[in-house]
Amino acid sequence: MVDVVAHLHEIEAIIRRVLNAQRREGEEQKRVDIICVSKTFETDVIEPLLIAGHRIFGENRVQEASVKWPQLKAIYPRVELHLIGPLQSNKVDLAFDLFDVFQTVDREKIAQKLAIKVKETGQKKKFFVQVNTGEEPQKAGISPTDVNDFIKFCSHELDLSITGLMCIPPADHQAAPHFAMLASLARQNDIQHLSMGMSEDYSIAVQLGASYVRVGSRIFGRR
Ligand SMILES: *Cc1c(COP(=O)(O)O)cnc(C)c1O
């Protein structure tokens, strides 16, 4: 079996090196969290990471996560589960109970439904806006030109506080300009978290200010 814990430690070490190389005199060390993207993998592959103490995971399908995670969350306290795939409005109820961070808020209707759930339940969840930095027609996410207005809409009209931005750069592009754009949009809106970088480009994302990287295949092997 793939040694997922060893892979996670390798990635942690690489991130530490990138951060140390960037660090300036007197500056506080930045924090980057690794989201282990466990989509398509069964609980027996995920569990060694939980036993080793890792708590941050990502899934892209609500249905799949709802089969795997309730039991794991019951056994291992303080798991932080991130939804990193699309959220359909008929899945909001199911998703809301399961996930702690919603990274793919990308339209008014979904933001509205999530805001209602927050009011109804009083549960503390975190919300990120997905930005379609490459403006790809087939890809989810708010267009970069609409991001500022959408964040204002969420906070002013819905009282839904947005604490992060996430992006998935186009597959055939250099990722760096997309990461830089996301960082710039976060600065403009005074947003704390940046979820960017995957198995192939997480160290570039860290250089450009990621606070969360989403790593799947480098940890779990090929899907
Ligand atoms: C699958 C997935 C990842 C992880 O991709 P890897 O290349 O396997 O690291 C990251 N982000 C999102 C949104 C994904 O769907």
The DSSP secondary structure of 101-141, one letter per residue, reads EEEEE-SHHHHHHHHHHHHHH----EEEEEE-TT--TTS-S
Name 9's Cβ contacts closer than 8 Å, sequence gap at least 6.
none
State pLDDT tens for residues 112-122: 999 999 999 99
Cα–ligand 1 centroid distance for 221 (angstroms): 12
Confirm or reject: Cβ of 214 under 6 Å from ligand 1. Answer: yes
Cα–ligand 1 centroid distance for 120 (angstroms): 32
- The whole-angstrom separation of Cα 65 and Cα 104 is 15
Contact 139, 150 (CB under 8 A): no
Cα–ligand 1 centroid distance for 214 (angstroms): 6
Going by alpha carbons, the residue nearest to atom 7 of ligand 1 is 199
Cα–ligand 1 centroid distance for 216 (angstroms): 6
Residues found in the chain: 223
Cα–ligand 1 centroid distance for 195 (angstroms): 11
Enter the tokens of residue 219.
């940890």
State pLDDT tens for residues 17-62: 999 999 888 888 889 999 999 999 999 999 999 999 999 999 999 9
Output the pTM of the full model. 0.97
Enter the tokens of residue 48.
């060694």
State pLDDT tens for residues 135-167: 999 999 999 999 999 999 999 999 999 999 999
- Model confidence band, residue 104 (pLDDT cutoffs 50, 70, 90): very high
Going by alpha carbons, the residue nearest to atom 13 of ligand 1 is 84
- The whole-angstrom separation of Cα 95 and Cα 114 is 10
- The whole-angstrom separation of Cα 80 and Cα 136 is 30
| Mutual angle of helices 43-51 and 62-75, in 10-degree steps | 40
Question: Cα 116 from chain centroid?
Answer: 22
Q: Is the pLDDT of residue 1 over 80?
A: no
Going by alpha carbons, the residue nearest to atom 11 of ligand 1 is 214
Give residue 29's pLDDT. Answer: 82
Q: Is the pLDDT of residue 179 over 90?
A: yes
Chain mean pLDDT for the chain: 97
CA distances from residue 52 to 9, 76, 218 in whole angstroms, order as listed: 10, 11, 17
Long-range contacts of 49-58 (CB under 8 A, 24+ apart): 49/4, 49/5, 49/8, 49/219, 50/75, 50/76, 50/79, 52/5, 52/8, 54/5, 54/8, 55/79, 55/80, 56/80, 56/82, 56/212, 57/81, 57/82, 58/82, 58/83, 58/84, 58/103, 58/214, 58/216
Check residue 146 and report its DSSP letter. Answer: G
